[in-house]
Amino acid sequence: MLFRGLPLAFGLLAAAPALACGFHNYAPPPSLVDRLQTSDRIILARTAPDDPFRYAARTALLGPVEGFESDQLVDSVTRRKLAGDPVAQVLFARDAINGSWQKLAFVDPQMGQLVDTVMDRLDDWHGPAGAPDRFAFFADQLGSTDPAIHKIALRELDQADYGVLRSLVIDIPPAQLMRSLDILQEVNLKPIRLLLLGLVGDGAARDRLEAGTRQSADISGRLLGAYATALIELDGPSAVRLITREIMGDPSLTDASREMLAEALALHSLSGDPDTRAAILSELDAALAWDPTLAPSLVRQFSMRRDWTLAPALDRLTRTGETGALSAADRLAVAAYLSGSSTAPASAGN
């Protein structure tokens, strides 16, 4: 990366968006609400009267019912389900940008109630202002006996900012979450299940999360961020000390693993409870003193979230010349962070 002076370097750091439950190496796929909010037509369809392999529109939820054309054939499973339920339909939405139709859900009466509620609240759920109500609604659906609704709820919560996720009432047994972590066909739901496990977990969950954190750190596994974030949530300062002293202190740790652990610490520095935030600040202050090469990843992750609490520790490193081991670009990033901390409002960070 080329830098043309400190203002640009700081701009690059400050402009980076804070991620939600997605981590820097994992972006959650669009949820049902995401797809509906970016659609210009929403249709409920069944098999065509003259062709059991073709969908035909029955009900319009957004836009006209006429002109619906999907190139997706009615598969054998859906045909049987529609044949056995005369009121069931299939939900389709047309992408407002590319005009493609996407099949989103099989809508039986129970799913129909959820779709009706979503459509009623769809406009209110746009943007940050609607996030608390949107995610609280789907947190309530985690206990649904319908597996399809349960999965939809998980995908929705995967979009939530971590601070919002922590504020929700999550009522799901830890043992159920732990069992579901091993479902190979649902590996894309594992990150959000790990984060939820951190919120509701017990002693067995803590052991599972620590083992997952250690193993993922050794191989730079893509789930390391979720494992570490959940472990810190469940075990607080003890987990912070384990991660900073034992795992981040391992000289064989890869840069990718270091980045994911820095991200987990940054998330909790911003959203965690007071004791955990205090432990993060204290432990990272000590960690930076014995290993200044931690600075670049920490600067990236903390500045991305406008968290300037590392400024005193980084300022000491700069003044004592300990940043000399860093590359020129990394030293400039540290300077940009310190510049940002000096100009940020007093309420920024923790």
How far is it, in rounded angstroms, from Cα 15 to Cα 166? 25
State the angle between helix axes of 6-15 and 328-343 in degrees (0 to 180), rounded to the nearest 10: 70
**What is the end-to-end Cα distance of the chain in Å, rounded?**
30
Q: How many CB atoms lie within 10 A of CB 212?
A: 22
The closest alpha carbon to 303, from 257, 259, 334, 271, belongs to 334
Question: What is residue 323's predicted lDDT score, i.e. its pLDDT?
Answer: 82
The closest alpha carbon to 301, from 5, 16, 7, belongs to 16
Q: Which residues pair with 39 in a beta bridge?
A: 95
Per residue of the chain (350 residues), give pLDDT as tens: 222 233 333 333 433 333 445 676 678 899 999 999 999 999 999 999 999 999 999 999 999 999 898 889 999 999 999 999 999 999 999 999 999 999 999 999 999 999 999 999 999 999 999 999 999 999 999 999 999 999 999 999 999 999 999 999 999 999 999 999 999 999 999 999 999 999 999 999 999 999 999 999 999 999 999 999 999 999 999 999 999 999 999 999 999 999 999 999 999 999 999 999 999 999 999 999 999 999 999 999 999 999 999 999 999 999 998 888 899 999 999 999 999 988 766 545 55
Question: What is residue 111's predicted lDDT score, i.e. its pLDDT?
Answer: 98
- Quick check: helix, strand or coil at residue 29? coil
Handedness of CA 186, 192, 198, 199 (dihedral sign): negative
Question: What is residue 17's predicted lDDT score, i.e. its pLDDT?
Answer: 39
CA distances from 208 to 61, 158, 198, 212, 231 (A): 44, 20, 10, 6, 9
Tokens for 126, please give them: 């746009």
